[in-house]
């Protein structure tokens, strides 16, 4: 048998038009390549497909050393709680916590992990703004540390950056300022 009928489009096609699958009786999928591609495309637009992408992204940032943003996540020991390593648990939590397709996952405490108590869904715009504030703070902290190394008075540094002196002293002692 070199040809068969696709379950979906019902067309009689050559076996080359079907993806191989060793688990199936004749070694090929029941739907043709074309229908399979369409099925995946449709799936990506479903809640399940979209949240799967979110979940994969979260795992990559935390555990994949070659990911471009690993240094901000896995590199800072940010992890995913054990229950969320199971996609279905994560999916259920998202659906029960006002997820919708225009929202992105956000960690409330930037030093905290991906876990129910520390996560919420916000818009891309809010997320970008948060990220920018964090980067800005990191740059600011670096400059402030440099000023202190150069023996500038805490009071003066505080005035330059329009922050209270207590913040400057916290940066000096290495306590993070958020």
Binding site for Zn ion (CB under 5 A): 6, 8-9, 32, 35
Structure tokens at 111: 């030093």
The residue among 28 and 84 lying less far from Zn ion, judged by its C-beta, is 28
Q: How far is the CB of 30 from Zn ion (least distance, A)?
A: 9
**What's the CA gap between 111 and 176, in Å, rounded?**
10
Q: How far is the CB of 29 from Zn ion (least distance, A)?
A: 10
The residue among 38 and 137 lying less far from Zn ion, judged by its C-beta, is 38
Q: Which of 54, 40, 61 is nearest to 100 (CA)?
A: 54
The residue among 30 and 57 lying less far from Zn ion, judged by its C-beta, is 30
The residue among 32 and 157 lying less far from Zn ion, judged by its C-beta, is 32
Q: How far is the CB of 40 from Zn ion (least distance, A)?
A: 13
Q: Confirm if 172 and 152 have CB atoms less than 8 A apart.
A: no
Q: How far is the CB of 34 from Zn ion (least distance, A)?
A: 5
Q: Confirm if 55 and 29 have CB atoms less than 8 A apart.
A: no
């Amino acid at each position: 048998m070199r040809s068969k009928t696709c379950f979906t489009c019902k067309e009689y096609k050559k076996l080359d038009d079907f993806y191989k699958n060793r688990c199936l009786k004749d070694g090929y999928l029941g739907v043709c390549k074309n229908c399979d591609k369409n099925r995946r495309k449709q799936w990506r637009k479903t809640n399940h497909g979209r949240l799967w992408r979110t979940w994969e992204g979260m795992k990559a940032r935390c555990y994949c050393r070659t990911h471009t943003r690993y240094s901000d996540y896995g590199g800072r020991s940010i992890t995913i709680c054990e229950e969320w390593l199971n996609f279905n648990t994560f999916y259920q939590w998202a659906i029960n916590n006002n997820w919708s397709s225009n929202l992105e996952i956000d960690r409330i405490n930037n030093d905290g992990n991906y876990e129910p108590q520390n996560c919420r869904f916000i818009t891309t715009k809010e997320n970008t703004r948060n990220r920018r504030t964090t980067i800005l703070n990191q740059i600011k902290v670096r400059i402030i540390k440099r000023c202190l190394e150069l023996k500038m008075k805490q009071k003066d540094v505080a005035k330059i950056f329009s922050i209270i002196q207590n913040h400057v002293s916290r940066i000096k002692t290495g306590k993070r300022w958020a």
